[in-house]
Amino acid sequence: MLPATVFETNRLRIRHLLESDFDAFHEMQSDAEVMRYTTGSSLDEVENRRQLKMCIECYAKPENDFWVWAITRKVDGQFVGTCAITPNDQRAEIGYRLLRKHFGLGYGKEVCNGVVQFAILQRRLPEIVAYADVRNVASVKILDQSRLRFIAEIRLANGLTDRFYRWLAESASGPNAD
């Protein structure tokens, strides 16, 4: 059985995660460089198995609002990373994470734009937000070029700073400045 495709971009297919994605998922999540600006440290095999299982189980939950999907290349089906739409204080937060070997290939920008487009047009979400650690120059650049608008820099309790981005539907706040 083929995994459910959620949406596609020019080069990428976003689909449901599968148990067979574990090796690549674990490679990504256990890479300290990949996790540097998210959890702050790599995750072990037990935690990665737990997280993958939880993500897969969410697909079947009625009224689910926690979505993490696999990003794969159309050309060969290779696992590139994950993207997500998850709840955050009554808002929908988007995010993405790539295997390090796929850094610098434009996949981050492509999937960010794709997930924003999907959230707006398919999910019809009234508000979308994203956060990026100011030290994560690549993600800041991607979000600066997306449909999301930079709102503010937020100082966190741990002393770090995140950039906060948001998109609001016209019905939620008036016209967007697109």
Give the model confidence (pLDDT) of 43-76 as tens digits. Answer: 999 999 999 999 999 999 988 899 999 999 999 9
Residue 29 gets the label, from left (phi > 0), alpha (psi -120 to 50) or beta, of alpha
> CB–CB of 99/71 below 8 Å?
no
**110-165 pLDDT, tens digit each:** 999 999 999 999 999 999 999 999 999 999 999 999 999 999 999 999 899 999 99
Rounded-to-integer distance, Cα 42 and Cα 38, Å: 10
Residue in 88, 86, 89 with CA at minimum distance from that of residue 97: 86
Give the start-to-end residue ranges of the domains of the chain.
5-173
User: 5-173: what CATH class?
Assistant: alpha beta
Question: From the CB of residue 62, how many other CB atoms can be counted at a distance below 10 Å?
Answer: 4
What does the pLDDT average to over 89-112? 95
In this prediction the pTM is 0.91
Rounded-to-integer distance, Cα 41 and Cα 44, Å: 10
Provide the 3-class DSSP secondary structure of residue 6: strand
